[in-house]
Structure 1
Amino acid sequence: MRRLRKVWFILPILLLAYLAVAAAWAWTAFDDALRAAPAIETVQLSDRQAAILLRVEDPAFYEHAGLSIGHGQGVATITSALARELFLGDARLDGAQGMFQSLYRGVFACCKRVDLGRDVMALVLDARMSKRQQLARYTATIYMGRHEGRQLKGLAQAALGYLGKPLEAASEDEFVRLVAMIKAPNHYHPSRKPAALAQRVARIQALLSGRCEADGWFDTEFRACAP
């Protein structure tokens, strides 16, 4: 019993130490990770497009410090998605920073939804990058599925690939279709899963019009908005 109590006493200390090291690493590695990340093509969303995107993906984006739990959002935020991409994505760091990056990649691959290290990195990213910069990078880098044999990244590429037009020329309905894909681009693929995409678009349209609300924090399917 005494040994068990000792373990339960040590575990929180180890977790706090792990999180502190993750935060310190992310802070010191931020500039190098940003330089190593692929260059992005900045696309300016209209005010209405930004409002649609945030209403669906991260309603509290301008209020939270990187982490949030919101109705229809769950625990994922735009900032946490960016932290995963920036710190744990394809861009590789060198030296000691690269060693820690490999460690945190392994932890994320194992734990994903409950990776508190990644969550701490989201707090660091929010402190180091403005909300405007975060939104621009998210818009340019979010995975949007595969089309005609190539991977599409960002809403601008998705508009050209799926709509055949620049993002700024997309109608509101067309933009909502793109936003509807973000949750699972290959599941809500416009040519391979048109029925699933149409159902999600209808639910998002109902949400945007105020006819319904998400049924709790983790209702990212917007079940209450079903026709």
Structure 2
Amino acid sequence: MVKKYLKVVFFGIVLFLASYLSIAALWANSVVEELLQNTPSAHQEVEIQPQHLKALVKIEDPAFYDHNGLNISNGQGLTTITSVVARDLFLYHQDLVGVKGSFQSFYKAVFNCCKKIDLGRDIMAVVLNSHATKQQQLNLFINNTYWGTMEGSSVIGMQAAAMAYYAKEASQLTDDEFYGLIAMPIAPNYYHPVSNPEAHAKRVQRIKAIVSGQCSASGWFDLTYEHCATGA
């Protein structure tokens, strides 16, 4: 009797999850073109030196150019560049209206409540990847990522971060300065070059070891590269 009950509960959960994700996919497909069209940052390409762009991708999403929105490579963690920008594009960049807006509010509430286990964002990432080019996804990430707080104001986007922390255009950053920027997004106000320079400097050194190939991520959830402290 207990086994039968558990089986019913299990299949009920599976059915609910499948329905939830299917509806999320249908909704995302119905609004993605509208959201992309009305989000200027998706079409604004920031000039970055090629080796710097390569370093950014290696740290943030090693298999970015190969995956369909989701990935479980070493050093990836729970998110890809695509899933990060999908979350923001679908839920936060623009308030939709009508039935589309009601679904948006629902998915936003689910994500805010259960972001660590919500698979809706992952479905949205797959949908976004099928409609947006990799360049558009990078544009969204580079232009909208939070780079900490400087003098009481939030720093949004790489161009603003380059000016705030180094007084330069992003395209003019040296290698070390660029590594200083990409050290921050994982925890912008902890790995902060001004308020926490010691922690920031340590992460920069580990990133340099990863980018140079002296060290590599030790697993899926290895985002801090602590074993790379000596560059080994």
Whole-Å separation in 1 of the counterparts to 2:135 and 2:93: 23
Residue 28 of structure 1: aligned partner: 30
CA offset digits 1:96-138 (Å, max 9, x no partner): 1110011101111111122101100000000000111111221
Contact 1:215 1:223 in 2 (8 A): no
Structure 1 residue 30: deviation in Å? 0.8
Whole-Å separation in 2 of the counterparts to 1:119 and 1:47: 28
Residue 107 of structure 2: aligned partner: 104
Structure 1 residue 153: deviation in Å? 1.1
- Where 2:116 maps in the other structure, the secondary structure is helix
Structure 1 residue 181: deviation in Å? 0.5
Whole-Å separation in 2 of the counterparts to 1:44 and 1:20: 38
Percentage of identical aligned residues: 44
Tell whether 2:221 aligns with 1:218. Answer: yes
Structure 1 residue 39: deviation in Å? 4.3
Tell whether 2:199 aligns with 1:196. Answer: yes
Q: TM-score, normalised by structure 1?
A: 0.95
Residue 156 of structure 2: aligned partner: 153
User: What amino acid sits opposite 1:177 in the alignment?
Assistant: G
Residues 1:39 and 1:59: Cα distance change in structure 2 (over 3 Å): closer
* Alignment map for 1:1-227 (pairs within 5 Å): 1=2, 2-37=4-39, 39=41, 41-227=44-230
Whole-Å separation in 1 of the counterparts to 2:10 and 2:229: 45
Whole-Å separation in 1 of the counterparts to 2:41 and 2:80: 22
Unaligned runs of 5+ in 1: none
- Where 1:113 maps in the other structure, the secondary structure is coil
Contact 1:71 1:219 in 2 (8 A): yes
Structure 1 residue 89: deviation in Å? 1.4
Q: TM-score, normalised by structure 2?
A: 0.94
- Where 2:24 maps in the other structure, the secondary structure is helix
User: What amino acid sits opposite 2:159 in the alignment?
Assistant: A
Contact 2:70 2:80 in 1 (8 A): yes
Contact 1:32 1:93 in 2 (8 A): no
User: What amino acid sits opposite 1:183 in the alignment?
Assistant: I
Contact 1:19 1:117 in 2 (8 A): yes
Contact 1:43 1:139 in 2 (8 A): yes
Structure 1 residue 31: deviation in Å? 2.2
The more displaced of 38-47 and 209-218 is 38-47
Whole-Å separation in 2 of the counterparts to 1:103 and 1:36: 21
CA RMSD across the alignment: 1.3
Unaligned runs of 5+ in 2: none
Contact 1:67 1:76 in 2 (8 A): yes
Structure 1 residue 22: deviation in Å? 0.2
Whole-Å separation in 1 of the counterparts to 2:35 and 2:109: 17
User: What amino acid sits opposite 2:79 in the alignment?
Assistant: A
Structure 1 residue 35: deviation in Å? 4.0
CA offset digits 1:115-174 (Å, max 9, x no partner): 101100000000000111111221111111111121111111100111111111110110
